[in-house]
Amino acid sequence: MIKLEEEIQKIVEQLELKETEEETEEKIRKKRISSLATPKLKTIEVPVIITEFLRKKFRRILRKCLQESRKIDYPQHVWKDWCKYKPDDRFYNAWLKIWANAILAHASQKRTFILILPEIAKEPPFTSNGTRLDENYLIAAADILVKHNKAKWLDSNKKTLLVWWIDKKTIAEEIVKIIKELQLNIITMNDLIDAGIPEEIIPEIISELEHITKIRLISRGNRIIGIKFEEIL
């Protein structure tokens, strides 16, 4: 693993050391040392470059953990045609909860955190044998998940739903476990995205990480590009 100081030297060489080919090795060495002490470097936050091997291994292990986590089963009755019709008011809330669990199961079975309701309304079990659950009831069922912090709307029209089919704390704990095993103290946002974690949920994963370990966000300009785990190594 390349140390932070070595990476800073690389950045300095790229940004500051634009000398001619005639400069002696001694002049370059002196300028490099001088540049490292300049105030300009204090505004640059640079991630440690980790080996591509370890980064690929981290992504592969996390992706596998997500893919192999326990799938949530669909409620039995949602496959029945009669279950797609609104029942008597006495049973309405219980009926909506059944469909809320069906949405959670659907995200789990599909291994996706983002559901587009108009699209899944056309898929089984929300549509089967020509019978389709009314989309308004699908939204009402999704609202139950939102109320219980199992989901959240990503748009004001209630079309796009983020579903926590696996608990965010569980994901954060798995990330910490993997980087400890790999002795890896920095991961990038792209590492998380490539492992199957949507960009939309990364802020909440970071929030969970802050509760279970000490981290520092790495930025380039106004953009967060990585996470450094202060207590791993």
pLDDT tens-digit map of 93-143: 999 999 999 999 999 999 999 999 999 999 999 998 889 999 999 999 999
SS3 call for 51: coil
**Is 181 a residue whose pLDDT tops 60?**
yes
pLDDT at 42: 39
Q: Which residues contact 181 (CB under 8 A, 6 or more apart)?
A: 61
pTM of the model: 0.74
Task: Read off the pLDDT of residues 54-104 as tens digits, 9 standing for 90 and up.
Answer: 888 999 999 999 999 989 999 999 999 999 999 999 999 999 999 999 999
Residue with tokens 């990364």: 202
SS3 call for 12: helix
Q: Report the C-alpha gap between 14 and 9 in whole angstroms.
A: 9
Rounded alpha-carbon distances, angstroms, from residue 177 to 135, 162, 180:
40, 25, 5
Q: Which residues contact 185 (CB under 8 A, 6 or more apart)?
A: 48, 179, 228, 229, 230, 232, 233
